[in-house]
Amino acid sequence: MHNFRIVIDTFGPDAGPIEVIKGADELLKKHPEVVLTLVGNEQLIKENIQDLARVKIIPTDNYISNTENIMEAFMNKKDASIILAAQETKAQEDAIGMLSAGNSGALLVSCLKFLASPDLARPCIAAVLPAENGSFTCLVDTGANIDCTPSQLHQFALLGSKFMRELYGIESPKVGLLSNGVESTKGNKLVKETYPILEAEEKINFVGNIEGNRALSGDCDVLVADGFSANQVLKVTEGTAARIIKDIFIYSKKTNKPEFTEVAAHLMKIYDLSSLGGGVVLGIAKPVIKCRGNSKAITFVNTAEMLINIANNKTLFEGKDNDRS
């Protein structure tokens, strides 16, 4: 049986490493073809993993918190879990990728140092969200790069387009640019400068500007933005969906109308972000997935399965072209 080795940084979630480790244990039970490298507290891992024969442990109690200066922490914490995990992902030939719910900045720096592709300047994080038309929209970049240049957004468009083509089988993914108006003259300086670059790019199917209220309409398969703007789309979408679902449950209880509970349950399935995995770091040699801080054990199982799907689709991370040949 072919083994898929997945490297997991156990630090980072809001609930602490136990949720990651529980998820790892469930993953091993569900997928006999998977072996793991777990980076974190050795005793905690041994106490909560049943099949230790399929687990390599890299012991450390050090990690990079969300409040630390990234570059200082990267220089002074060589044994931080996220750094050790990225090093291990590079070093192990059989490692198909890495999972982490740790600091996004630290993850990006680790990817740049250990896993960056030589022909690409800047990795980015792509999140796949449910679209109104029943398909999915790849939102990129969702937070790895807060301040971007037009050339970086151009690169994100190429990476996102390839991701949706290779993993979701969309022959010519429609690429949109997040803006405050559909006209080519709308947008801030970054958007206005990026528009003609994407319009002239023959390797993508550029469909123009997309407003925020149409972000998940299905008008585009890839929505390109700087990390700050796209992260706001991600968080507002998640928060709004949670609020609406909660209000429906409350209304159902107050009015004693159970049919509305069924509606809310249906919406929960559609907008269950834990079922969609995390954000995939594109533009690097091996796939890395950034899980959300509020991820539970089941999230890590689903995200690991996303890595397996990517591993079975090797063209996504192999070769140098990344749509640039």
* pLDDT 10s digits, 105-129: 889 889 988 998 776 667 889 998 8
Tell me: do 160 and 303 sit in the same domain: no
d(CA 273, CA 294): 11
Number of folded domains that form the chain: 2
pTM recorded for the entire structure = 0.83
Tell me: do 198 and 287 sit in the same domain: no
Beta bridge partners of 57: 38
Tell me: do 294 and 225 sit in the same domain: no
Range of the domain at 17: 1-120+283-325
Tell me: do 249 and 287 sit in the same domain: no
- The pair of structure tokens assigned to 107 is 């993850």
- Specify the CATH number for the domain of residue 219: 3.40.718.10
Tell me: do 168 and 288 sit in the same domain: no
Look at residue 272 in the predicted model and tell me its pLDDT.
63
User: Could you read off the pLDDT of 261-318 as tens digits, one per residue?
Assistant: 888 777 776 666 555 567 899 988 888 999 887 778 888 898 898 888 888 876 666 5
SS3 140: strand
Tell me: do 230 and 149 sit in the same domain: yes
Distance of CA 180 to the CA centre of its chain: 25
Assign residue 229 a region (left: φ > 0; alpha: ψ between -120 and 50; beta: otherwise).
alpha
Tell me: do 11 and 106 sit in the same domain: yes
Tell me: do 170 and 274 sit in the same domain: yes
d(CA 160, CA 156): 6
User: Could you read off the pLDDT of 67-83 as tens digits, one per residue?
Assistant: 888 889 888 999 999 99
User: Could you read off the pLDDT of 182-238 as tens digits, one per residue?
Assistant: 999 999 999 999 999 999 999 999 999 999 999 989 999 999 999 999 989 988 888
What are the backbone angles phi and psi of residue 189, rounded to the nearest 5°? -60, -40
Who contacts 116 (Cβ-Cβ below 8 Å, separation ≥6)?
A: 123, 283, 284, 285
